Amino acid sequence: MENSILIYNTLSRKKEEFVPYNPPFVGLYVCGPTVYGDAHLGHARAAISFDLVFRYLTAVGYKVRYVRNITDVGHLENDADEGEDKIAKKARLEQLEPMEVVQYYTDRYHSNMDQLNVRKPSIEPRASGHIIEQIELVKKILAEGFAYESNGSIYFDVAKYNESHHYGELSGRVLEDMLSNTRALDGQDEKKNSFDFALWKQAQPEHIMRWPSPWGDGFPGWHMECSAMSCKYLGEQFDIHGGGMDLMFPHHEAEIAQSVVANGRQPVHYWMHNNMITIGGQKMGKSLGNFITLDEFFSGNHDRLERAYSPMTIRFFILQAHYRSTLDFSNEALQAAEKGFHRLLAANETLKKLKPSDVSSVDIAAITKGCYDAMNDDFNSPQVIATLFEGVRVINQIHDGKETISAADLVLLNETFNIFVVDVLGLLDEVTAGGQDSKVNGLMELILQIRQNARTTKDWGTSDLIRDELKSLSIQVKDTKEGPVWSVED
Ligand code: ZN
C-alpha cells in the first residue's frame, strides 16, 4: 500500500503507523449490539465509525475480513455480573422465547444499518452459536490457573493475573485503585474479589438460556464471546479491534486478560474506540429520558425532535465529528448537517455537468491529496468533509465561469468525489438512490410517454384509457407547452 495510515491506538495511547500482520489482509473485529431493544444514535455512531474504517481500508486496496458480532446471550444488566440476562428479561416481560427477541431486534438492527448505508460485515457471528468455543476457552484459562470455580460458576482471578500482567493496561486503570474504590464484599458473594469477572455462570432453575458444561448447566460470561469468536475467525493475533469507549472497561480489558492467558500473547495490535454521543451535554440513557431511537429520528416521532431527520442526515452528522471526539445532539446541529449534506450533493450533481477547458485555473490535485491526507491521519472524516467543501467551492466557481478546469483535472475531480463521497463516507443521494419518489417519477414519465405516443398515432382508445385510469387513482394530467405534467389531487 502506498498510503501510510496513522491509527490512534488506545493501548499505546498514541498514533501509530498501520502495518497489518499479513498484508494485504486485515483482520477487523468490532463489538456489535446486544439485541434486546431498538438501536439508537450510539449504535449508529459505533457502526458508522467502523464502517468508515472498513470502507477506507478497502478503498486503498486492503482485503478486510470484518467481523462484527451479535450478543444474544450472557450480557447481564450489571457490569459486576449481576442482575438478569438482558435478553432473558425482555423475553420474560414480553412473554416471548428469548430467540424470538433476538431475531426481532437483530432484524430491526439490520434494517437500521441498511438505511444508514452501513456495509454488512464479512462475518456476523452470534454468541449463542459459539458456546462450544467459549467452553473450550474457559477450560484453557482454568488449566493455566487464572480462574476458579465457585458454586458451578467460573471466575477470572484478576488479582492473580495482575501479579504477572497489568490488568487495566487498556483503560489506564490501576488495580490497587480499583480495590479501594469497590465496595466491600458481604461474604455472600461467590467471587474472591468484586472485580473478578464471570467466564461461565451457573444457570438458576428459572434461567431459560442455558447450556450443559463440565461445570453444570449455565451460560457464558459476556466478555467470553468476543475473545472466542475473534480468535476463531481472525486468529490469536489480529490487526484491529474496535468498539465504543464505554466498552473499554471492563469488556475489552477482560477480553485482553482472557486471550493473554489462553494464547500467551496480546490478541490485538490496534485498539480503536469511538467516543459517545451526548444530548445537551448529558449522556444518553433510557433512565435519563433523553433516549432517542433511530426509528424515532427517521419518523420525527419523539418529544425532543422538532421534525424527522433522514438516515443520510444522521450519517453526515456523525461523520462531521472525528470518531474520537464527543458529539452533542441538538435539532440545530442536525438541521445544519442536513443543509451541508444537501450542498455537497448538489455540487456533486453540478460536477457531472461541468465542461472542460484547455487549461485548469484550479488545483484539483491538492483537493485529492487533502482527502487522502485527512483519512490517513486516523480517519479524520471532518477534515475530509472540509476538503470536499473546498471542492464544492471550486465546482460552483467553474460552473459560474469564474474558473476553468482541464479534461484530465475534471476526471480527477469526478474520481475524487466518487471515492470520498460515495465509497469512503458512504453518502448517498436518498432520492436518486432508489427512494420511492424517484421510482414513481420514473414510472409516471413512462406512462406519459406511452400516452403521448398514442396521441401522435391518433390511438384515442389508449390515450383515454390512461387518462381515465390515472384519474381513478386521483392523478391529474395537464398538457402544457413543455409537455404533460402530472399531480396528485388531494
Ligand atoms: Zn465485545
- 232-266 residue pLDDT tens: 999 999 999 999 999 999 999 999 999 999 999 99
29: CA distance to ligand 1 center in Å?
9
Residues, the chain: 490
Q: How far is the CA of 251 from the centre of ligand 1 (A)?
A: 6
Q: What is the mean pLDDT of residues 345-359?
A: 95
Is there a contact between 259 and 252 (Cβ–Cβ < 8 Å)?
no
Q: For 162-190, write each residue's pLDDT tens digit.
A: 999 999 999 999 888 877 665 555 555 78
Cell of 195: 472485580
Q: Measured in angstroms, how far is the CA atom of residue 223 from the centroid of ligand 1?
A: 6
CA of 299 to the centre of ligand 1 (A): 30
Q: What are the Cα distances from residue 373, in Å, to 233, 376, 410? A: 31, 5, 21
Strand partners of residue 328 = 278
Lowest mean pLDDT among 129-133, 238-242, 431-435, 453-457: 431-435
DSSP-derived secondary structure letter, 16: E
Helices (H) and strands (E) in the chain, counts: 16, 15
Q: Is 480 helix (H, G, I), strand (E, B) or coil?
A: strand
The three cell numbers locating residue 189: 458473594
Q: What distance in angstroms lies between residue 266's CA and the mean position of ligand 1's atoms?
A: 16
Angle between helices 86-94 and 98-115 (to 10 degrees): 110
Distance 111 CA to ligand 1 centre (A): 21
Quick: pLDDT tens for 42-69: 999 999 999 999 999 999 999 999 999 9
Residues carrying CATH 1.10.730, the chain: 279-432
pTM beyond 0.75, yes or no: yes
358 Cα: distance to centroid of ligand 1 (angstroms): 55
CATH number, domain 279-432: 1.10.730
Between the alpha carbon of residue 481 and those of residues 93, 301, 399, 442, 485, the distances in Å are 63, 43, 29, 21, 10
Name the superfamily (CATH) of residues 7-274.
HUPs (3.40.50.620)
pLDDT at 115: 96
Q: How many Å lie between the centroid of ligand 1 and the Cα of residue 226?
A: 5
Cα 346 to ligand 1 centre (Å): 40
Residues 343 and 351: beta-carbon distance below 8 Å: no
Distance 32 CA to ligand 1 centre (A): 7
Could you tell me the distance, in angstroms and rounded to a whole number, from the CA of residue 271 to the centre of ligand 1?
Answer: 12
d(CA 293, ligand 1 centre) in Å: 22
Kindly give the distance from the C-alpha atom of residue 252 to the centroid of ligand 1, in angstroms, as a whole number: 7
Predicted confidence band of residue 433 (pLDDT cuts 50, 70, 90): very low
Cα of 451 vs centre of ligand 1, distance in Å, is 59
6-10: long-range contacts at Cβ-Cβ below 8 A with a sequence spacing of 24 or more?
Answer: 6/376, 6/377, 6/378, 7/240, 7/270, 7/272, 7/378, 7/379, 8/272, 8/324, 8/378, 9/269, 9/270, 9/271, 9/272, 10/170, 10/248, 10/271, 10/272, 10/273
User: Among 7, 2, 4, which residue's Cα sits nearest to residue 380?
Assistant: 7
What is the C-alpha to C-alpha distance for residues 74 and 375, in angstroms, rounded to an integer?
37
What is the distance in A from the centroid of ligand 1 to the CA of 34?
Answer: 10
Through-space distance between the first and last CA atoms of the chain, rounded to whole angstroms: 58
At 74, is the pLDDT very low, low, confident or very high (cuts 50, 70, 90)?
A: confident
**CA 19 / ligand 1 centre spacing (Å):** 23
What sections of 26-81 are H helices per DSSP? 41-59
pLDDT digits (tens, 9 = 90+) for 103-131: 999 999 999 999 999 999 999 999 999 99
Alpha helices in 252-380 (DSSP H): 253-263, 294-299, 311-319, 331-353, 364-376
- Residue among 402, 393, 398 at smallest CA distance from 356: 398
Of 66, 71, 30, the C-alpha closest to 47 is 30
Task: Kindly report, as residue ranges, where domains of CATH 3.40.50.620 are found in the chain.
Answer: 7-274
DSSP state of 66: E
Collect all residues with Cβ–Cβ distance below 8 Å to 439 and sequence separation of at least 6: none
Q: How far is the CA of 147 from the centre of ligand 1 (A)?
A: 20
Question: What distance in angstroms lies between residue 116's CA and the mean position of ligand 1's atoms?
Answer: 22
Poorest-confidence range of 256-260, 374-378, 433-437?
433-437
For residues 417 and 198, what is the distance between their CA atoms, to the nearest angstrom? 49
Which residues, 6 or more positions from 76, have their beta carbon under 8 angstroms from its beta carbon? 82, 83, 84, 85, 86, 201, 222
User: What is the distance in A from the centroid of ligand 1 to the CA of 125?
Assistant: 11
Distance (angstroms) between ligand 1 centre and the Cα of 33 equals 9
Radius of gyration of the chain (CA): 27
Q: What are phi and psi of 270, to 5 degrees?
A: -120, 120
SS3 at position 355:
coil
